[in-house]
């Protein structure tokens, strides 16, 4: 596997024709920031290669291996030699290709384009829909909290209205519906008696709970 990796490195780095070379279009030099980054990386590789102790000394247990040991140099030279022979052996088999050589990075390019498209189109719409939904919820909560007592009464009367229309006579249900319509029209400025919103049941429940506590304690 190491030989195959080195062969691929040699081919892509030194023997693969540049895009547009067959048409006489040579690639332009990269911008200055890219050249500075490449030069800095190359210098860092050279420094770490000449002085490997900068990194090996950071290992918890240290290491006895040395990159310039004779065995390591022979092994590296053998790998490059075999990869070079393989490159020369398969060179006559490579036929001229009218287009660009497709590498594995084509998948990364397509994935990047998909992510860019998703971020620019669907994600924007999803974020907008979420923002509109939150705005509607906040507006509803703001409307309800303007007069919570009346809002509870309106919600309760609205829920009970179908039952009133089904089981009561039309005159009483009509009065009930008119009362509900009046509450909706005057909301949130209307002020009603707190006992008219079902708070009597809550008061009775509190009294019963206190009676239970006193009975248990005493």
Q: What digits encode the pLDDT tens for the residues 148-207?
A: 778 888 888 888 888 877 877 788 888 888 888 888 888 877 776 554 445 555 666 777
pTM of the model: 0.35
- The residue out of 101, 132, 160 marking a domain boundary is 101
Q: Is residue 114 part of a domain?
A: no
Judged by average pLDDT, the poorest of 13-17, 123-127, 130-134 is 13-17
141 found inside a domain: no
Count the helices and strands in the chain (H runs, E runs): 9, 0
pLDDT of residue 96: 54
Q: Which residues of 33-52 are buried (b: 16+ CB within 10 A; e: fewer)?
A: eeeeeeeeeeeeeeeeeeee
Q: Do 20 and 80 share a domain, yes or no?
A: yes
Q: Which domain holds residue 38?
A: 2-101
State how far the Cα of 100 lies from the Cα of 77, in Å rounded to an integer: 31
DSSP state of 17: P
Residues 97, 6, single domain; the answer is yes
pLDDT digits (tens, 9 = 90+) for 59-118: 777 677 676 778 878 888 888 888 888 877 776 656 555 555 566 777 888 888 888 888
């Amino acid at each position: 596997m190491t030989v195959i990796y080195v062969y691929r490195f040699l081919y892509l780095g030194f023997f693969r024709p540049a895009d547009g070379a067959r048409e006489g279009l040579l690639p332009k030099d990269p911008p200055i920031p890219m050249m500075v980054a490449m030069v800095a990386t190359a210098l860092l590789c050279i420094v770490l290669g000449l002085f490997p102790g900068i990194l090996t000394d950071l290992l918890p247990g240290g290491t006895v291996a040395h990159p310039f040991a004779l065995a390591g140099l022979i092994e590296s030279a053998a790998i490059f030699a075999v990869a070079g022979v393989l490159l020369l052996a398969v060179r006559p088999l490579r036929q001229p290709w009218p287009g660009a050589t497709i590498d594995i990075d084509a998948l990364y390019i397509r994935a990047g384009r998909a992510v860019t498209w998703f971020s620019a189109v669907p994600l924007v719409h999803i974020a907008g829909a979420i923002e509109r939904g939150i705005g509607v919820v906040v507006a509803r909560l703001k409307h309800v909290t303007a007069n919570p007592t009346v809002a509870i009464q309106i919600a309760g009367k609205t829920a009970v209205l179908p039952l009133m229309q089904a089981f009561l006579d039309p005159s009483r249900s009509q009065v009930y519906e008119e009362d509900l319509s009046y509450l909706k029209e005057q909301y949130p400025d209307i002020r009603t008696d707190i006992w008219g919103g079902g708070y009597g049941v809550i008061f009775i429940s509190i009294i019963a709970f206190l009676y239970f506590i006193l009975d248990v304690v005493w």
